[in-house]
Every structure is written in structure tokens, then in C-alpha cells.
Amino acid sequence: MEFAKRLQPLQSNVFADMDKAKAAALAAGREIIDLSLGSSDLPAEAHVIEAIAQSLYDPSTHGYLLFHGTKSFRQAAANWYENKFGIKVDPETEVLPLIGSQEGTAHLPLAVLNPGDFALLLDPGYPSHMGGVYLASGQIYAMPLLEENNFLPVFNDIPAPVVAQSRMMVLSYPHNPTAAIATLEFFQEAVAFCQQHNIVLVHDFPYVDLVFPEDEGNNHAHTPSLVPSILQADPDKSISIEFFTLSKSYNMGGFRIGYAIGNPELIRALRQVKAAVDFNQYRGILNGAIAALTGSQIGVEKGVAIFRQRRDTFINALHRIGWYVPTPKATMYIWAKLPANCSLNSQEFCIQLVKQTGVAASPGSGFGKSGEGYVRFALVHEPTILETAVERIAEFLNSLS
Ligand SMILES: Cc1ncc(COP(=O)(O)O)c(C=O)c1O
């Protein structure tokens, strides 16, 4: 059967090779420690589950949910945003519920790009950002993220003809996979650049809460936020749209619920695309999300403390075995540069590692060309398991030398 050409770039996937290697290691009887997926192992809060459970028994939640029916969710999202960032948001025109934020960032290019238009994406970056541009028949300009630039893109390095053909830029800080964070000044620079060149500015913001303050006792739910929102740099919402999810802060990845906040024209355009595709998430899940956003934030604080402890355990263990990796200030990831004496590329490293030790990590090249030379570990296990993983990594590294 012949399929559309736009599917072709979606077929080469470093992660699919990793999955095969993982499956082979499992079949060979290895005990897998999977640090390759950024899916939280922590449970959703009891009050969230309760709200969803109650909804299940309420037949009024069982039908299609049209946009006007999502008002209470949009209001909760607007209030949550205002509390954290001090910027007013109109729940009618500036908030859009999503079936997970990935759905929104992947659909947005259909609303913004004409075939052949450029999208400026982070390299390395989150794979669905690229996928969405390919599905919209757009072109990608990969903005390299280098350690010497704190993993931030340099806008002046983008060739002028590309800028002239660009319709959107996607940023995402705290960043997956590098764990870098951005300052408000950097966002102001991005807003000025995009305003000057008539480019839509997208900020994917799943790790808004997963930030580790210097002061260890201060793992509060961060009101105000410790990291900036793109709308703080564009308070008139002139060109920007920001994507949020309940997957990370509230451990609700499987429930598929997120939202976009931003420029009303962009919100309307994305809603038009979605209207052709879906009828919103199930009302009961929206009710759970409202409980999460408006209820006690102690669960968020606990999650931050847990990921901080895991980060410290993993980094200390890596340092003990002589792999010196910087301590990230945010996210659930460790972005580790391959040791200088390692001759494998990141994909070979991860495939050999899982085959020989059962420890699964993500090759940096899977996130883009500039990710080569790095591997990403997702801290989605308890500290004792992370210690075991590092012991196995040490044996693997020794076997290489
Ligand atoms: C940058 C980024 N965007 C989006 C997502 C997915 O979020 P959601 O579960 O809301 O689709 C992730 C998940 O790892 C992510 O790292």
C-alpha cells in the first residue's frame, strides 16, 4: 500500500531500535531497569481519583463534551495560571483543554504552517514537536542547543532566508532532555525576535513544577513559580501560546489531560483544528483535573521532594564511579555526556548497555542531531533501584575500557 509522503520522516526512530534492544534483553532473561521513559511512576492523588470515580457513576458525564461544557475546567486552569504567574487569563478565549499537551503541540502546526513553511525547533528536543511539523508538511530548522550556551538556542545564528520563511518557533524550558532552564530575559529576547519576524512563539511547559530550589526545605508548590512563563515576557499575549499538562505535576500521564493558554487567535485556530478531530477529553477526567488544579498542592510538593532525592542519589552514584555529570536544577532527567574514553555513539551505548546490564536509557541522538554524544536517564524508579542501575553502568563502563 502506498502512504502519504509526510509519513516518511516519522518512520526513522532511534527509540524503536531501543525498544527492540530492550525486548531482546528481556527475552534473554535480563532484569530490566527502565530509565528510558519520562513517565512518572508515582500515583495520582486520592482526591483526584475520587473525583474521577464519582464522575463515572454520573450518567450526565457519559455523553460528548462540547466546548461550552468545559467551562469549569477552563476557569480552573485560568485561576491556576493567575495564581502562579500573576497574569490575568480569560477562560473563554485564552484557554483550551487538550487531550494531553502532546496532542496540542502536535496539532498546532496544522493551524499555523502552510506546506513548506519553516518551524524553528530545539535540537535536541521533544520528538512530537518534530512530528507535528512533518504532519503539517512543514520544514524543520533545528536550533542546536550547546552546552557552552547553557542549552539555549542562539537566534542570531538562524540564517536570514530561514527566518524569512519561518512561521513558528517552539521553546520548552525546563527542557527535556537537557534539563536546562531559561530565564525571563531569554524569553524576552525570544519574544522580541519572534515579534520582529512575525513568528508564532510556542512554549511547551510540562515541567513547570518540577524545579528544585537551591534551598532544600523549599519544595513547596511554587506559587509564584520558580521558572518563568513565556507570557510573562509577552503579557499582551501578542504572539505566544503556552502548553501545560497534568502528566508531570499531578502524575496523570495516562489520563491524557492538558491545556493551552495564550493568544486568543491562536487558541481559536487550534480549537478549529481540534474540532475536526476530537470531542474533548472525558468529562470525568476533566473533573479529576479540576480537583488536581484547585485542591491541595501537597502532592506536588511531595513529588518535587522525591525527584530531588532521586536526582541526588543518581548524581552522587555517578560521581562515585567517576562519571562527572552536572546536577540538574529541574525535570526528572539526567543528561549525561558520554565519558571521554567511550568510543560508542549514543545509540550504540544505549543498545549495548541494555543488552549487557538490563539498564535502559535514551540515546541523545533520538532527540535530534545535537543530542549525539549524550544519553538521558529518566529517574522513574526509587533510589535503591537507581543505585543498582549505576552499579551496573559502572560494570558496563569497565567492560568498555
Ligand atoms: C517536552 C514535553 N512535552 C510534552 C510531553 C507530554 O505531555 P502530555 O502527557 O501532556 O502529552 C512531555 C512528556 O514527557 C514532554 O517532555
Distance 343 CA to ligand 1 centre (A): 31
pLDDT at 177: 97
CA angle centred on 317, ends 311 and 319, rounded to 5°: 100
> How do strand 139-144 and strand 118-123 relate by DSSP bridges?
parallel
**46-296 has which CATH code?**
3.40.640.10
Cβ of 245 less than 6 Å from ligand 1: yes
Distance 101 CA to ligand 1 centre (A): 6
Q: Give Cβ neighbours of residue 343 (< 8 Å, ≥ 6 apart).
A: 400
Which residue from 39, 172, 176 has its CB within 8 A of the most atoms of ligand 1, so it is best to mutate? 176
Cβ of 36 less than 6 Å from ligand 1: no
Of 197, 198, 193, 143, residue with least CA distance to 173 = 143
Atom of ligand 1 nearest to the CA of 38: 14
Identity at 322, one-letter amino acid code: G
Cβ of 249 less than 6 Å from ligand 1: no
- The model's pLDDT over 301-350, given as tens digits with 9 standing for 90+, comes to 999 999 999 999 999 999 999 999 999 999 999 999 999 989 999 999 99
- Residue extents of the structural domains in the chain: 5-43+299-400, 46-296
Please check whether residue 336 is in contact with residue 374, taking contact to mean a CB–CB distance below 8 angstroms: yes
Cβ of 363 less than 6 Å from ligand 1: no
Atom of ligand 1 nearest to the CA of 246: 10
Atom of ligand 1 nearest to the CA of 125: 1
Distance 296 CA to ligand 1 centre (A): 23
Cβ of 172 less than 6 Å from ligand 1: yes
Please name the CATH architecture into which domain 5-43+299-400 falls.
Alpha-Beta Complex (3.90)
Question: pLDDT (tens digit, 0 to 9) for every residue of the chain, 401 residues total?
Answer: 999 999 988 876 777 788 889 999 999 999 999 999 998 999 999 999 999 999 999 999 999 999 888 999 999 999 999 999 999 999 999 999 999 999 999 999 999 999 999 999 999 999 999 999 999 999 999 999 999 999 999 999 999 999 999 999 999 999 999 999 999 999 999 999 999 999 999 999 999 999 998 766 655 556 688 999 999 999 999 999 999 999 999 999 999 999 999 999 999 999 999 999 999 999 999 999 999 999 999 999 999 999 999 999 999 999 999 999 999 999 999 999 999 989 999 999 999 999 999 999 999 999 999 999 999 999 999 999 999 999 999 999 999 87
pLDDT at 338: 97
Distance 136 CA to ligand 1 centre (A): 19
Q: Give Cβ neighbours of residue 74 (< 8 Å, ≥ 6 apart).
A: 91, 92, 95, 96, 97, 259
Which residue from 210, 227, 245 has its CB within 8 A of the most atoms of ligand 1, so it is best to mutate? 245
Please check whether residue 201 is in contact with residue 239, taking contact to mean a CB–CB distance below 8 angstroms: yes
Please check whether residue 250 is in contact with residue 299, taking contact to mean a CB–CB distance below 8 angstroms: yes
pLDDT at 10: 86
Please state, in angstroms and rounded to a whole number, the distance separating the CA atoms of residues 344 and 145. Answer: 21
Distance 391 CA to ligand 1 centre (A): 30
Go through the chain and tell me how many residues it has: 401
Cβ of 243 less than 6 Å from ligand 1: no
Atom of ligand 1 nearest to the CA of 257: 10
pLDDT at 256: 98
Cβ of 242 less than 6 Å from ligand 1: no
Residue entry with cell 525498544: 19
Residue 326: CB atoms within 10 Å: 12
Atom of ligand 1 nearest to the CA of 253: 9
pLDDT at 210: 96
pLDDT at 18: 86
- The model's pLDDT over 57-110, given as tens digits with 9 standing for 90+, comes to 999 999 999 988 899 999 999 999 999 999 999 999 999 999 999 999 999 999
